[in-house]
């Protein structure tokens, strides 16, 4: 589906000094390269979870409870671990996941300046 999306919405072309509109940022994201999750991550953390929270949300208790319910459902349905892809430098997201027992997954052969993985096993 992604190639068709890239054809339908070509990458916006602007000067470096020009700002992209929110719609153009989304279109631009279709054309960015994707990072493949190493197979070793799936070995111990077969389920993937992604949580997005608005920066304006001061009380993250609802988000934490929602994720706790998701983790319980995954465990009840046979999953033995979960991981999340995290952007380097996103302290709020790292804090959110680590408070729920997620730890960084050590991947010596995976070199990325953009992302790393946090995981939790049951």
On whether both 50 and 24 belong to a single domain, the answer is no
Range of the domain at 58: 39-121
CB 47 within 8 A of CB 82: yes
pLDDT in tens, 73-120: 999 999 999 999 998 888 888 999 999 999 999 998 887 778 899 999
Rounded CA separation 28/12 (Å): 6
Q: Name the domain count of the chain.
A: 2
On whether both 47 and 25 belong to a single domain, the answer is no
pLDDT in tens, 36-75: 788 899 999 999 999 888 878 888 889 999 999 999 999 9
CB 121 within 8 A of CB 83: no
In three-state secondary structure terms, 106 is: coil
């Amino acid at each position: 589906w992604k190639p068709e999306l890239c054809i339908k919405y070509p990458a916006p072309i602007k000067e470096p000094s020009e700002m992209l509109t929110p719609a153009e940022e989304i279109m631009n994201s279709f054309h960015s390269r994707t990072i493949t999750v190493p197979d070793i991550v799936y070995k111990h953390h077969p389920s993937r979870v992604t949580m997005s929270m608005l920066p304006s949300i001061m009380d993250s208790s609802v988000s934490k409870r929602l994720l706790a319910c998701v983790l319980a459902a995954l465990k009840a349905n046979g999953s033995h671990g979960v991981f999340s892809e995290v952007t380097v430098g996103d302290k709020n997201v790292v804090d959110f996941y680590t408070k729920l027992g997620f730890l960084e997954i050590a991947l010596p052969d995976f070199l990325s300046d953009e992302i790393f993985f946090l995981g939790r096993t049951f």
